[in-house]
Chains A and B, each alone.
Chain A
Amino acid sequence: MSNKPNDDGLFPAVDQQLLSLRLKRLVQRAFPLLVVVLVLLFISLLVPRFFHPRNLKNILVQSSTLGLMAIGMTLVYLIGGMDLSIPSVMAVSGIMGAMIMKSGGSPVLGVIITIAAGAVVGAVNGLSVSFLKMIPFVVTLAMMQVMSGISTWVTNSVSIAVPLDYIDIILFKIGELPLPVYLFVTLTIVSTYFCKSTIYGRWLYAIGTNLESSKVCMIPVRKTIFLTYTVSGMFAGLTGVLLTARLGAAGPLMGSSNVILDVMSASVVGGVSIYGGVGSPLGAAVGAVVITVLNNVLNLLRVDFFPAQVIKGVIVIVFVAFDSFGRSHRRQG
């Protein structure tokens, strides 16, 4: 079939049909998410307190920290990697920042140190994966171990309080909502645009889709992988900044290992494939809101911690199953 451009020179005539096809694909991909949202909406109707403005605001604030980590994770998923160390890195960087400020550093220095610490650990992950060719799962799992160790060790399991002016700056309110929510929205938009519209974003998708083909297409594969892990670390650091301010202190519990399940859930519920090459930060951000709502509802319904873990775990499995099912339906031959 030919594909001559029509009058405006932009879309081929046959695209009419394909447009509906694409719509169908979109619906297909968003379908599981839709189900979850509907279920949550239904449940939340059972919990009247859910719609209380304070609760809704709370959800947004909590989503912002989870969301930023999920965006970092998404970038790593896109290149076909994974980063299990995100929450623990977040805790360690928060602690670093808090320690600096405790010993007299200004809030600005605190913020810089926190983000830089995340970036450094991310860079170590990136170096191991890209240049030393180590397996992401193993590297970041070990890193998670190391980071949890460090955070308990240097703090003696005691939280380190941060100065009030730091909290005031970070949680500065614009209108009804604090700064972190705006930051979350902005970074979601920026990183989604980055992924969808820039060369580097395209490279991420390429590497996650086919590493060998990417090399042949002259994509600087190793450098890109290295930087992606570094950026993921930076997002963890940034989350550390926000969470420390919200909690008023930094401590090892911030990055407890069940946070990683929430981060992964947010990404996969948001349509990001753990096999690489599929998804977007926007999806992960929506996923983060969904997971936060889920946590919130489970909390309001007074579901115990452990059954709640089971429910969330099952959700991840179901979404990953959807993902693999979609993949196995590829044509071959």
Chain B
Amino acid sequence: MSSTVLKMIGIGKSFPGVRALHNVTFTAYAGEAIALLGANGAGKSTLMNVLGGVIRHDDGKLEIQGKSVEFKNPKDAQAEGIAFVHQEMALLPTMTVMDNMFIADFPKRWGAIINRTEMRNQCTEVLERLGCRISPDNYIKNLGTGDRQMVEIGRALLGNNRIFIFDEPTSSLTKGEKDNLIKVIERLKREGMAIIYITHFLSEVYDICDRVCVLRGGEVAGGGLISEVSMNKLVRMMVGDVKIGDRGSERNTAARKPIFQVDELNRRGVLENINFTLNKGEILGFWGLLGSGRTETARAIMGLDTVDSLKISTWKDDRLTEVSTEFVQHNIGLITEERRVDGLFLPMSVSRNMSMANLRNIRKKHSAVIDRKREAELSREFTDRLNIKITSIEQKVETLSGGNQQKVILGRWLEVNPDILIMDEPTRGLDVSAKAEIARIIVRLAKEGTSIILISSEIEEMMSLCDRFLVFNKGRIISNLEYGVSQEELVGLAAGTADASKRVMA
């Protein structure tokens, strides 16, 4: 039996209108990884924020290696060897990878001059340990989400830490990066470190963790050695009984009627000759590795990035007619992948965030005045439908849990209910039951005639929802496959290892 490194005893924390934690006792051991699980808003991030010194708890106490400690700020926690990889990234986009890693504590020469050689060496070493190939001199703003996440993790690996907190680290990592992270964690465990691992992917828990602790509504719902708990039992502890939604093999087989077509989309160095058609009521999956051009295609269609060429047509008067980007912007919804950067208005209320794309439709008659009553009604309807955990629709979005923030964005577009909806990683950060619920909603929308472009890095989700797949590789569409294709083939194509001879232009 390994030794206890960390003990959190009887932790309680309340925010206005909500008790986020109540009498939570949590223990971590040296050389072991413990999974911290729970539904969206269960209090996982809050508990870790207490441990990381980000917020102060109301009740309870913390012990590190038997010694009682008290953290007034994140620095205090760091001094005790606690490294925190946050759920939401906090990097400085205009600075380099290296600078970001060392920003809190630059290695110095003669007390004041930054020692860049030392920095570069340490940085390269850490990046190698993580097995990722980014240059220390690259700017953060040029990196994709996955790489950014690696930088964030790299930062935690610097210095003398003994407790590592990972708050949903893999939600935006590729398979390869995930495998590397698992290796790094294995190594940290062998070195006698204590790992706390938050995730919504239960399979990862079995790969990585030795123990588990489940929170539910801010209280401990159960826990123990992972080898003694089945996955079903974990799910029940987290959310009670749920049916995991699957579309089965039922697919949209009605005669296909094109409603939207993209031609000759080019953006130098990023996208090359993208052409495809979207049919009515279809769920079209964009599949590919991170950075293969899926997100970029979505953004180009919405006119968010400048492109070299693009032709968009929609179905009008019984044929496809070319339309302006303006038209597109008013008739297509986009759920972006980075909710905090280009999705939410953090200091605004839930209600305002949800109505923001729908303001034109909730005007009072013949005026530009917003119908507040209608706004509130709709917000309430959709927060209920999506089961968003809030104290009131006036709660600020920045105080919601990560998963609930994601649901707010979903709610925003359900409110608008556009004919075409592009969803980029719509279930990122959602718990199992929420994921199932979203899957059900996507299927229902498609049945009602909405055409959906789905981008997701989770192969199971793609396999269970999509009618058709476009496989992206290095900025091009290399394949157009129907439902029924095997998982192996999809994975192989995306990685560029499988034969793309089935290449068909949509």
Contact = CB atoms under 8 A, between A and B. Distances in A.
B216 interface: no
A15 B348 CA distance: 17
A198 B343 contact: no
A87 interface: no
A21 interface: yes
A129 to B, nearest CB: 18
B346 A330 contact: yes
B204 interface: no
B393 interface: yes
A332 B343 contact: no
A3 B373 contact: no
B138 interface: no
Contacts of A80: none
A199 B363 contact: yes
Interface string B99-142: 00000000000000000000000000000000000000000000
A214 B87 CA distance: 23
A1 B16 CA distance: 12
A137 interface: no
B90 A332 contact: yes
Contacts of A132: none
A331 B87 CA distance: 12
Contacts of B334: 216
A26 interface: no
Contact of A210 (B16, B55, B344, B393): B344
Interface residues of A, number: 35
A34 B342 CA distance: 36
Contacts of B373: 10
Interface stretch (B354-362, B475-483, B498-506): B354-362
B344 A199 contact: no
B380 interface: yes
A215 B90 CA distance: 22
B370 A197 contact: yes
B343 A216 contact: yes
A107 interface: no
A194 to B, nearest CB: 9
B383 interface: yes
A218 interface: yes
Interface in A199-220: 199-200, 202-203, 205-206, 209-210, 212-219
A280 to B, nearest CB: 15
B473 to A, nearest CB: 26
B352 interface: yes
B332 to A, nearest CB: 9
Contacts of B360: 199
Interface residues of B, number: 52
A12 interface: yes
A14 interface: yes
B179 interface: no
B449 interface: no
A212 B86 CA distance: 22
A333 interface: yes
Contacts of A214: 356
A1 B391 contact: yes
B104 to A, nearest CB: 15
Interface string A21-42: 1100000000000000000000
Nearest to B400: A331
Contacts of A331: 55, 398-399
B17 A205 contact: no
Interface in B358-413: 359-360, 363, 367-370, 372-373, 376, 380, 383-384, 389-395, 398-399, 412
B167 interface: yes
A17 interface: yes
Interface string B25-59: 00000000000000000000100010000110000
A209 B342 contact: no
Nearest to A22: B394
B73 interface: no
A307 to B, nearest CB: 37
A215 B393 CA distance: 23
A164 interface: no
B254 interface: no
A12 B16 CA distance: 15
B211 to A, nearest CB: 23
Given A1-B17, A199-B370, A213-B342, A330 B392 contact: no
B323 interface: no
Contact of A198 (B348, B370, B391, B394): B370
A1 B357 contact: no
A271 to B, nearest CB: 14
Nearest to A210: B345
Given A203-B359, A216-B357, A330-B398, 4 more contacts: A15-B392, A209-B347, A213-B342, A333-B86
20 contacts: A1-B17, A1-B389, A3-B383, A14-B17, A14-B392, A17-B16, A18-B395, A197-B370, A198-B369, A199-B369, A199-B370, A202-B359, A202-B370, A209-B346, A209-B348, A210-B345, A213-B341, A216-B336, A218-B329, A219-B356
The 9 closest A-B pairs by CB, nearest first: A212-B342, A217-B357, A198-B368, A333-B86, A199-B359, A217-B356, A209-B345, A199-B368, A21-B16
